[in-house]
Structure 1
Amino acid sequence: MFIDEAKIRVKAGDGGNGCMAFRREKFVPRGGPSGGDGGHGGDVIMESSQRHNTLIHFRYNPEHKAQRGEHGLGSNCTGLDGHDIVLQVPVGTALYDQLTGELVHDFQEPDERVVIAKGGRGGRGNQHFATSTHQAPREHEMGRAGEERLYRLELKLLADVGLVGYPNAGKSTLISRLSAAKPKIADYPFTTLEPNLGVVTVGEEPNRQSFVVADMPGLIEGAHLGSGLGTQFLRHIERTRLLVHLVDVSDASGRPDPVEDFKVINKELASFSPKAGEDGADQHPLADKPMIVVATKIDVANPEKLKKLATYVKRRKLEFHAISAVTGQGIDELKWALAKRVLPVAVEAEV
């Protein structure tokens, strides 16, 4: 099950109480105060991990508590510190304060660690309160309470290329042809119910390179208002560097105008786009991201639709490709076009 949102409550360990004790042993009639300090409470730490790709382990286990510190003991013995707990999240997870909405941390690299709730300090024993005029103190401190926080986790997949378009535009079929991904493919709308990732490799050894493509569930008009699957999955392409907009130019779509289809999806992308500076991330609105337009199903295309879409796209000075995922026509050309746009080191197309 793919879970990309979760709310959790974390509680760091409380500090142990300081001890009130006096040294009493043979031949030491006035040993003085000997109460040890309490141990510090354990921290709650969050760490990004490549071993996870969903937040499902938080959906059904939303409360996490670190161990408290042990109380101080006599003979000036300090109590043991509480054990920290480490919560692992997928790379790409954004951590928000549930109460203020503030972005606490954005985990974009593996093995990043952040303390999200700090353990309480242990209380001091009565040994610390002795003075020249107060040699038998009975004062001692209680341990401090550990921090308690409510957080919201939001997973945003890390991909180089994002596929968008109407349902049944051919996104899942395309990603299955470009990569080894095996998404569910069927001839009815909303077959894709969760994002799919595929790794595309280009070039030959030793110069082989790869990039990641994300297939988003289909959008329809009014998605930003909740129609269809809404825009709940579009957060996963906020980090992408390139959008590939797939438009069905066959008559099977039941929609007469491919240009209007293109405009509708772009409008939904613009409606979803975050405000500048939101989340503290350097992001561009989805509608402003670089885009390649791809006409799909050209093996059964309506020639007038294909011509109309190609003319409109070229007038807007956008890169245009026509493909058939069934026959393979145009797939290789599109793959190398994507590689040229997203890979840091240029690769030459295979002849």
Structure 2
Amino acid sequence: MTEGNFVDYIKIFAASGKGGKGSVHLHREKYITKGGPDGGDGGRGGHVILRGDKNMWTLFHLKFKKHFKADHGGAGSKNRSTGKDGEDVYVHVPLGTIVKDGETQEVLFEITEDHQEIVLCEGGMGGRGNWHFKSATNQTPRYAQPGIEGKEGWYQLELKLLADVGLVGFPNAGKSTLLSVLTSAKPKIADYEFTTLKPNLGIVEYRDFKSFVMADIPGIIEGAAEGKGLGHRFLRHIERNSSLLFLIPADSENIQKEYDILLNELKKHNPELLDKDRLLAISKSDMLDEELKAELTDEIPKDLPHVFISSFDQTGLVELKDKLWEMLNESVV
């Protein structure tokens, strides 16, 4: 998937169908000239339904089709025949899609499971036919209900990536390089800030045919929680990760300071992010000897597990995957 094909924010217009009108009909057949009312009900208008699809990773398919309109319900007919229901319209979305009201920005619901279906716009009810209105004082009612109008409106869809591990770090910390080495993903890599403008996903293969999903999130800068840099466009993706892998290069001026800034940005965006398991990876460690590694270890918080890695010569990657797998499965009995 190319970077331009990753769409994690889109607005769509949805309109459900109007209910069919009820029928005004009096029963007629041979030898029965004055039968009672037998007008049937109108059919329900079609719904607009969102359906979760685990095979989708982006909202790109909605970029050029943003209007969805369901069919109207059919009118009722004689012999109490109910009109045909309007055909429902299904909009497939990736797991992790949040739906908001386009005007109020109120969060309506989230799609988190494969084949999960939630009605976005409910179709109008069909009108009742005249046979419903028969009474002792009105035995031949010549009226029926019209169908109820459908609903319509603009809705905002936002994608939060569902991944096991989220890569957190400053721009140019080596996250994309690490992802390309650990997985088959091919993110854009270059030696300048904000090479990654969209999240990238990759599947990390582990022992015994096991695997987990890793997400490379665009780099954090100070003030990201207030919208600086790429701001909330990437921070919301971190919310869906089970564990967080902080990546800080070995040539950083102050590892503790960088870590504190990253942690503070996550806290300001959503304090609950601090409840996730965290692991610190010191990248570009191929330039370090054992003595320098010992010095850097003294700078790292004692309660923070860490590992020295190098994507260049692929050292420490097995230990990294072991630690991540242990974090992801520590609660599994």
Matches of 2:13 and 2:293, distance apart in 1? 53
Instruction: Give the superposition deviation at 1:215.
Output: 0.8
Matches of 2:292 and 2:249, distance apart in 1? 9
Instruction: Give the superposition deviation at 1:182.
Output: 1.6
SS in 1 for 2:128: coil
| Aligned residue pair count | 328
Instruction: Give the superposition deviation at 1:322.
Output: 1.1
2:189 aligned partner, one-letter code: I
Structure 2 unmatched runs, 5+: none
2:283 to 269, 275, 296: 296
Matches of 1:46 and 1:77, distance apart in 2? 30
1:336 to 319, 322, 328: 322
Residue 144 of structure 1 corresponds to 148
Residue 231 of structure 1 corresponds to 232
Q: Given the two structures, how large is their TM-score scaled by the length of structure 1?
A: 0.85
CA deviation profile, 1:212-235 (whole Å, cap 9, x unmatched): 111111112222233322231121
SS in 2 for 1:262: helix
Contact 1:295 1:306 in 2 (8 A): no
Matches of 1:236 and 1:180, distance apart in 2? 21
Instruction: Give the superposition deviation at 1:305.
Output: 7.6
2:263 to 237, 261, 266: 266
Instruction: Give the superposition deviation at 1:295.
Output: 1.2
Counterparts of residues 1-351 of structure 1 (less than 5 Å): 1-204=5-208, 208-250=209-251, 256-273=253-270, 285-301=272-288, 309-313=296-300, 315-343=301-329
Contact 2:19 2:127 in 1 (8 A): yes
Structure 1 residue runs of 4 or more that deviate by more than 6 Å after TM superposition: 302-305
2:304 aligned partner, one-letter code: L
SS in 1 for 2:158: strand
Instruction: Give the superposition deviation at 1:247.
Output: 0.8
Question: Per the alignment, do residues 67 and 311 of structure 1 end up closer, same or farther by CA in structure 2, a change over 3 Å counting?
Answer: same
CA deviation profile, 1:23-75 (whole Å, cap 9, x unmatched): 44553321333322211111222110123211123343332221111112234
SS in 1 for 2:263: helix
CA deviation profile, 1:172-211 (whole Å, cap 9, x unmatched): 111112122121111121111111111112223xxx3211
Instruction: Give the superposition deviation at 1:310.
Output: 2.0
Matches of 2:207 and 2:80, distance apart in 1? 67
**Aligned alpha-carbon RMSD (Å):** 2.4
2:118 aligned partner, one-letter code: V
Question: Per the alignment, do residues 148 and 304 of structure 1 end up closer, same or farther by CA in structure 2, a change over 3 Å counting?
Answer: farther
Matches of 1:102 and 1:130, distance apart in 2? 44
Instruction: Give the superposition deviation at 1:326.
Output: 0.4
Contact 2:54 2:113 in 1 (8 A): no
Contact 1:257 1:305 in 2 (8 A): no
SS in 2 for 1:173: helix
2:93 aligned partner, one-letter code: V
Matches of 1:269 and 1:144, distance apart in 2? 47
Matches of 1:57 and 1:117, distance apart in 2? 20
Contact 1:259 1:308 in 2 (8 A): no
Contact 2:11 2:156 in 1 (8 A): yes
CA deviation profile, 1:226-273 (whole Å, cap 9, x unmatched): 3322231121121222211111122xxxx6333322222222112211
Structure 1 unmatched runs, 5+: 275-284, 347-351
Matches of 1:233 and 1:263, distance apart in 2? 19
SS in 1 for 2:189: coil
